[in-house]
Structure 1
Amino acid sequence: MKKSDKKLDKIGQLGPFFELDKRRQKAIILLFEDELTDEEIAKNVQRRRSTLDNWKNDDKFKAAQEQYKRLVVKKDFESKALRELVNLLNAKSEMVRLQTAITILKMSGMMSDNSTPELDKAKVRKANAEADIARWKADELTGKNKADDSTVLVDDIGDAEDE
């Protein structure tokens, strides 16, 4: 990697958007701004409308559009949104405070979109129960569970349709 590439990488200017030529970059910016028709954008970048349509169907162009959108949103709104969330941690509503805390934790990567503290605890209980059952089955197969009486495991949790 060249020295100039390292500098670009530090400021986040690597990726599909920055790999495109200036005309395609300009087209992406104009598409994002959503103020011109496709015909006007094509004319603005000195290409035919059909060329713009081809670009819009190209996977690299699509990836570049996504990257550009993330960069603009991050630059223009991320810090403002985070400040607003921090302010909402002091809201009167307990539900607003909870949702705000969850959102901040998700943004930080400490919680996934489909995760809640209750769900995480349930997942741990399920994993522990499954481990206990697997251990019991292994002991049963190896003869470590020798006893005069036998224990039968019954799965009484079935689908509602079974009832």
Structure 2
Amino acid sequence: MSKVNKTGQDGPFYKLDKRRQKAVMLLFEDELTDEEIAKSVQRSRSTLSSWKNEELFKAAQKQYRSLVVKTDYESKALKKLKELLEAKSEMVQLQSATTILKMAGMLSDNDTPELTRAKVRKANADARVAEARAKSLEENGADVEVLIDKMLTTIERKDSEENAN
């Protein structure tokens, strides 16, 4: 059985009695049948089935899984992600950076590498358009601004087409 950090003992797992906690741990390990787990916690198979349908028990399973993964794998995973930031493939680098930022709460799960790249392309295009507008206004006045608006519309259409594919 994996050991979990004993600090901050609150949440659904810690609200369970010792038998239910042991059942959660054994279910996580996935090495025994439900019948064997029930016997190990001195309860019937039907009692274990009943526990597995309780909301508190389900929440405790989720919390325990999170605690074990965090305790046993989080630092290894972060080290690996850090190594992958130096990978030859830019896609691997981007995915690694995205994962790190999501873990840090700095990026939502709705963001994807493709969406991030599209946002960067749009920001770069917007900057080029703004720069061209400013320059054209200094030099030629309003006629060039109409041309730049057409360019911007074309760039936005191309970005929309790329995102749709």
- Give the TM-score, by structure 1 length: 0.65
Task: Tell me which residue corresponds to 2:30.
Answer: 34
Pairing of 1:1-150 with structure 2 (within 5 A) = 11-115=7-111, 116-118=115-117
Local SS of the residue matching 1:79: helix
Q: Which amino acid aligns with 1:48?
A: S
Distance 2:17 2:110 in 1: 39
How far residue 121 of structure 1 moved from its aligned partner, in angstroms, is 7.2
Provide the alpha-carbon RMSD of the alignment: 2.3
Unpaired segments ≥5 residues, structure 2 = 1-5, 124-165
Quick one: distance in 2 between partners of 1:29 and 1:117? 39
Tell me the distance in 2 between the aligned counterparts of 1:98 and 1:31.
35
Structure with more contact order per residue of length (Cα contacts < 8 Å, sep ≥ 6): 2
CA gap 1:120/1:109 in 2 versus in 1, 3 angstroms: farther
Measure how far apart 1:109 and its partner are. Answer: 0.8
**Structure richer in helix, relative to its length:** 2
Task: Tell me how far 1:12 sits from its aligned partner.
Answer: 2.4
Misfit runs of 4+, over 4 Å:
118-122
Shift of residue 113, structure 1, vs aligned partner: 1.4
Shift of 1:114: 1.3
| Higher deviation after alignment, 55-64 or 95-104 | 95-104
Q: Which amino acid aligns with 2:13?
A: F
Report the CA distance shift for 1:94/1:118 in structure 2 as closer, same or farther (over 3 A). Answer: closer
TM-score normalised by L of structure 2: 0.65
Q: Which stretches in structure 1 are left out of the alignment for 5+ residues?
A: 1-9, 125-163
Tell me the percent identity. 68
Question: How far apart, CA to CA, are the structure 1 residues paired with 2:71 and 2:102?
Answer: 19
